[in-house]
Structures are given as C-alpha cells and as structure tokens.
Amino acid sequence: MFYGVDLTSRLMLGTAQYPSPHVLQQAIAASGAEVITVSLRREGADGAAFREILAASGARVLPNTAGCHSAVEAVTTAQMARELFGTNWIKLEVIGHADTLQPDPFALVEAARSLCADGFQVFPYTTEDLIVGEYLLEAGCEVLMPWGAPIGTGHGLRNPEGLRAMRAHFPDVPLVIDAGIGAPSQAAQAMEMGFDAVLLNTAVARAGDPVAMARAFGAAVQAGREAHDAGLLPPRDMAHASTPILGLAELA
C-alpha cells in the first residue's frame, strides 16, 4: 500500500526510451504494472498525445522530477507536474553527482520537506543510507525508494547487505527498489529480500523485445514476492541430505 492506495502489481514501469508509442502501450499492458512514471521533460509538442497514451493504459501516473539538480528546481517541477497530471503523487529526484546520478541527500531532504508540507505524497529516490531514510520519513515521506545501482546501469542490487539492513531497519515502511535493475532475476532477488515493489525503465525499454521483457519482469516480481511470503530456505554452512538415512536398507 502506498499512501493509502492498494495495488495488485508490485512492478512500476518507466515510460522513457521506448522505440514507439505503440510498443510502450503494449509493454505496459504486458507487464501488468499499475503505476507508470513519467518525467515532465517528456512533455513537448506532442505532450497531449503522450498523456492520452498514459491515460489509455489505465495505470496510475507517478510524475517524477528527473534531471533536477537542486531542491528549488525539483519543487518547481513537482508543482508543474501536479498541475499537469492532477495528482499529488510525485517521484522526487534531486541528482547530486553527474556520473553516478546519485541523489543529493541534503537537497533531497530539503525538497521532500517542502513538498510534503505542500500536500504532495512523495516517493523519494534515495540510496540505502539509513540516516537519510530517517530524515526523509521525518520530513513527511511515507515511502522510500533506494537505488539498486546507478540509473540505467543494469548492475542489479550492488549492495545487497546494505539493502537488507534497510529492509530490517524500516520493517513497516514501504520500500521500492528504484534504478539499476537489468534482468528479471535481479527484480526477483529484490522481492525475495522483502521489498514491496520494483521500479525500472531501461531494462524493458531498451530490450530487443520490450513487450516480452515487460512480461518477464512482471512474472519475476510476482514469483519473487510469492517466494518471500512462502518462506525461503536459509543458507547453511554444511550439506544436509534431503533423503533421511533412517530406514535405509542394510545390505549384507
């Protein structure tokens, strides 16, 4: 549940870089995603047509502040997005490093505090830093979106131990792995660790067959969550026979 909204799918899908609007539509449908993200920078001469595509998908739109490098820029972009899309939901990105696209934690918290006070329901793109997470929750966020790896790299969960620590530290906070996922197996891994959802874009949009890849990610996210809920076998240091020794025949 995110800000009181129950969702069936735990996959969130980005809408950039697809080869055509038609492929985008098909990929959203194949993925089963109920939340799709869109940057205000996608709005241009064909903005109205693009919004029609998003509306036709039936998915909930989560605008984002992609490309913003300061709190002021992010807040202004969020206000424009709310007016354009008619939603208080906003994925907050404030980039602090040009190469890694790592969030600026100071500007991120500043922007989150301002937006939450203005009635926004903020989904902050952050790292697995626990202290930053605490400050974001204190600012009014009810969701945290730690990165798996830098945006678009496809490296998957680069710091699994740090992400496990975050999951354990915030047991009752919805956590969404955002960025860096490159394969369905990586999405399944995130769900097996107990994360509430996965948000990705490039791995689907730039695939040889985006529609098939979207379908694969939808299945992987569902399988990973079902495995988590079922109870995964913990790793063992020693071998443990699955067939009991007791009752074996004794041969003379």
pLDDT at 45 (0 to 100): 46
pLDDT at 174 (0 to 100): 97
* Residue 91 is among the residues annotated as catalytic for this protein: yes
**Contact in structure between 62 and 88 (CB atoms under 8 Å):** no
**Mean pLDDT per segment of 10 residues, for the chain of length 252 residues?**
93 94 94 93 63 88 94 96 94 93 96 98 97 98 97 95 98 96 97 97 96 98 97 86 69 65
From the annotation, which residues make up the binding site for 1-deoxy-D-xylulose 5-phosphate? Answer: 152, 179-180, 201-202
Which one, of 199, 128, 123, lies nearest residue 164 by Cα?
128
Q: Which two three-digit tokens encode residue 168? A: 């354990």
User: What's the maximum distance between 2 C-alpha atoms anywhere in the chain?
Assistant: 86
- Exactly one of 82, 91, 167, 225 is catalytic; which is it? 91
From the annotation, which residues make up the binding site? Answer: 152, 179-180, 201-202
Distance from the first to the final alpha carbon of the chain: 63
pLDDT at 52 (0 to 100): 84
* pTM (predicted TM-score): 0.91
